[in-house]
Structure 1
Amino acid sequence: MTGLLLLGMAQLIATDYQEPPEVLPPKVAPIHLPEMKRTVERVDPIRKPQQLPPPVKPQPVERTLEPAQVPIIVGPPVVTQQTIDPGIVSSDPLPFYKPAPRYPSRALAQGIEGYVVVEFTITRSGSVRDPRVVGGYDSAGAPTEVFNRSALNAVERFKYRPTLVDGNPVEKQGVRNRITFKLAE
């Protein structure tokens, strides 16, 4: 084995090994940058305020005070025999679970903010039924539909304490809610 290696090395030394021809890199045209000019921010001059209203004249304050006699009566609390009938209690619906809507990726990519007004029915069990979009608007007040689906998905998960009439839960229709979409700062 050693003999073969020595023979192979001798053969390599005996051959006239030449360096490969040098390949020059391609020529690159010179790059000319345009002349850079400084940009100056235009600042509008500060406007003088309109004519100020006349200063308010101070009112004189009377600094003398006469002590008054206030009768103080301390006694035990009075207990009455009145009871409240729980069947007469009435109340409006009260939200107790309102998850935040998911910000639509299309609106996030475009930097759009806005709000959606949604109308729905609160059932006797406190869940939401039949949500529908009344209107969706961007921050400039222009109508948009980019937030509608996300707002409806959030409203479907809302939970309320239902409306009580004479102590019994009832459905409440036409409940409106404004859902705002604002980018984090």
Structure 2
Amino acid sequence: MTQLIATDYQAPPEALPPKVAPIHMPEVKPTVHRKEPVKKPQELPPPMQPVTVDRRVEPGDIPISFEPPVVTKRKLGPAIVSSDPLPIYKPAPSYPRRALARGIEGYVVVEFTISKNGSVKNPSVVGGYDGSGAPTDIFNSAALNAVERFKYRPLLSEGQPVEKHGVRNRITFKMAE
């Protein structure tokens, strides 16, 4: 404090308040919501005439017989007699890194057998081709790995599952745009 007195302390100059631009407020008019008057209910239809029911029953008029149900020895077959294999699970193959690095797209045709339980047996590559149609084997292992995980509802013949040989599938490898 003594130092301030000794140096002839002067108060800082007063800062002017910042200038504020004039604000233009639009004129606000109160809105009134009008309710529609309640409509009169429709006129009721005329009451129905009561129907007279004859409640007299003669015991001899109604035939009463108690018999056990008739059992037939007819066998019912299964609901699905024959059907083609139906894919249940077909995972997408992983894109090979070499093909991704080179920017190669293509497809592979794979042939396999669908077993009685719906799994894939004996997958083999029929042919692999790049986007221009030239043969390539860059996608073969990825396609085979994906096909081995496929699951199907098996072929049904007369209600029994049967192996289906020679099933072909085309697996396309295309880079995202």
TM over 0.5: yes
CA positional deviation for 1:86: 1.3
Q: Bigger radius of gyration, 1 or 2? A: 2
CA positional deviation for 1:85: 2.8
Greater helix fraction, Structure 1 or Structure 2: 1
CA positional deviation for 1:184: 0.1
**Which residue number in structure 2 is paired with residue 105 of structure 1?**
97
Runs of 4+ in 1 over 6 A off after TM superposition: none
**Which residue number in structure 2 is paired with residue 145 of structure 1?**
137
**Which residue number in structure 2 is paired with residue 133 of structure 1?**
125
After superposition, the CA RMSD in angstroms is 1.5
1:157 aligns with 2:149: yes
CA positional deviation for 1:165: 0.1
Q: Secondary structure at the match of 1:86?
A: coil
Cα distance between partner residues in 1 of 2:80 and 2:99: 48
Structure 2 alignment gaps of length 5 or more: 1-74
Structure 1 alignment gaps of length 5 or more: 1-82
CA positional deviation for 1:178: 0.2
Cα distance between partner residues in 2 of 1:170 and 1:149: 28
**Which residue number in structure 1 is paired with residue 88 of structure 2?**
96
Cα distance between partner residues in 1 of 2:116 and 2:107: 28
Q: Secondary structure at the match of 1:108?
A: helix
Equivalent residue pairs, number: 103
TM-score by length of 1: 0.54
Q: Indicate if the aligned counterparts of 1:90 and 1:163 stay in contact, CA closer than 8 A.
A: yes
| 1:117-169 Cα deviation digits (max 9, x unpaired) | 00000000000000000000001000000000000000000000000000000
Cα distance between partner residues in 2 of 1:137 and 1:178: 11
Change (3 A) 1:180 1:88: closer
TM-score by length of 2: 0.56
Report % sequence identity.
Answer: 75
Q: Indicate if the aligned counterparts of 1:131 and 1:155 stay in contact, CA closer than 8 A.
A: yes
Query: What one-letter code is carried by the residue in structure 1 that aligns with 2:107?
Result: Y
Query: What one-letter code is carried by the residue in structure 2 that aligns with 1:112?
Result: I
